[in-house]
Homo-oligomer: A and B are copies of this chain.
Amino acid sequence: MSAIADTEDAYEELTDRYARIAHVEKAAGVLNWDQQVMMPDEGTPARSGQLSALSAVRHDLVTDPELGELLDAIDLDDLNDDEAAVVREIRYEHERAVEVPEDLVEEISRTQSEAQEVWQDARANDDFEGFAPTLTQLRDLHVERAEHIDPDRDPFEVMYDDSERDLPMETVERIFDRIREELIPLVEEIEERGDDLPRPFDAAAPYDPDAQRALHEDALDRLGFDRDRARLDTSPHPFTFGNQFDCRITTRFDEADPIDGLMSTIHEFGHATYQLGLPQDHYANPLGESRSSGVHESQSRFWENHVGRTRAFWDGFLPTFQEHFPGAEDVTPEAAYRAVNRIYPDNLIRVEADELTYHLHIVLRHEIGRAFVNGEIDVDELPIVWNDRMEEYLGVRPDTDANGVLQDIHWSMGFAAFESYTIGSVLAAQLDHAMREDLDDVDALIREGEFEPIHEWMTENVHSHGKRYRTDELIEEATGEPLTADYFVEYATEKFTDLYGL
């Protein structure tokens, strides 16, 4: 009895402490949203100070030895499965944080902050040599950190755990190999076939930003955006911030192209469905938090690709589009569907890539990033390795390093940072398949704008679990099998074979 009482007390104290950590983290999220969306231009010095302070406060709370004592005081046999999952998640965060010396945490934080400015200058001036020393320094610091966390494991795998633990690297690399093997020939076929898909939206350009905003709001209403808990704003880079009570997405408007921004909005809407689907009574507790970056990306990719880029969606939504842009009244649903699914094999830039080539950009980054972290590639070799591999995978060679190895901010912040994007697409296709086993005629639902059954399925199978399951367990619970590239490959091959008449 006494052990149970001790465990109960310790568990309650543990979750109270964790709630404070979570609140501080969410507060930092509000500050970050505000900085990107609302803050006056010259507010940065004050905001940086606030964010650093919250980060330091959070670190102190997570590494507090009393947290470790509480974890040790808990007898897992006295807990139910949910409680045991909570303890597992808090233990993971605590143990990972205490292994890294505070000096190193601060040095990494400072170096990353500086690295982002160095990277910006280097990209602006196409000056990889200007970035190389910083990149090496960052790599060494992250390797040092990884060795503190687990000296016996491959440092890249330890880094990868930051965004995607519980999906073995072996599984991910097998999936990446498959994607590379399947997509390279598919993209080549499309390239050879030549692009004669119509460009039906060009005629109605330019697209007024205010009208685009109204269109996006209508799209969100159609998809089921809960206005009492969510809002749409603009920012240079679309993103999602929020929780189950308050979730915000951002988008952007390109006057020449109404599709890019709309797809961004639908993508971020997908992220928002996850946050808004988390259980409210577990707010500030691991059971009320999203599982991982890859699972999160599965939600955004599901809504973007398996809803927003489907024939069914454009059958239903095109009239709304045309109300806002009467100049597009001659566009047919089929032409719209084709236009939003165009493939651009000669594109050099990941963030502008289409649904297929995108993953070759990711596989390339994973391979090169891993080899650089493991010391198989020297920093000076990065540009040429990058360009060679672009040529090998996509048949194009970057004209500059700014359009090559320097294009992403990610390596200024860490390595093993890209994998989740492709995991997201792979899982989205697998979820789409599983959902269609359960629901009748998903296409009809999408066409009619009846999204409630889809939301319910995702909430029941993914969102409502928070961090109850490990990522691999969650995927099996939701789809009945481990993560597999089969459904993504099948979906992509069928769709683009049909579209391009291959």
Q: Which residues of A contact B (CB under 8 A)?
A: 19-20, 23-24, 26-28, 30-31, 34, 38-47, 49-50, 52-54, 56-57, 227-231, 243-248, 280, 283-284
Contact = CB atoms under 8 A, between A and B. Distances in A.
A230 to B, nearest CB: 6
A228 B54 contact: no
A26 B50 CA distance: 7
Given A30-B34, A42-B245, 8 more contacts: A20-B57, A23-B53, A24-B54, A27-B28, A30-B30, A40-B231, A45-B245, A46-B245
A384 to B, nearest CB: 43
A57 B40 CA distance: 27
Contacts of A227: 40
Mostly helix, strand, loop or mixed at chain A's interface?
A: helix
- Nearest 5 CB-CB pairings of A with B: A43-B246, A23-B53, A46-B245, A27-B50, A42-B228
Contacts of A44: 245
Contacts of A244: 46
A415 to B, nearest CB: 30
Contact of A246 (B19, B39, B229, B284): B39
Contact of A19 (B26, B30, B47, B49): B49
A277 to B, nearest CB: 14
Tally of this chain's copies:
2
B280 A40 contact: no
21 contacts: A20-B56, A20-B57, A23-B52, A24-B53, A24-B54, A27-B53, A30-B34, A30-B50, A34-B34, A39-B246, A40-B227, A40-B228, A40-B230, A40-B245, A40-B246, A40-B248, A42-B228, A42-B245, A43-B246, A46-B283, A47-B246
A39 B243 CA distance: 12
Contact of A229 (B34, B40, B54, B56): B40
Given A38-B231, A57-B20, A246-B39, A46 B31 contact: no
Contacts of A284: 46, 49
Contacts of A247: 40
Given A40-B246, A50-B27, A45 B228 contact: no
A45 B26 CA distance: 12
Contacts of A229: 40-43
A52 B23 CA distance: 9
A28 B34 CA distance: 13
A42 B30 CA distance: 15
Contacts of A46: 26, 243-246, 283-284
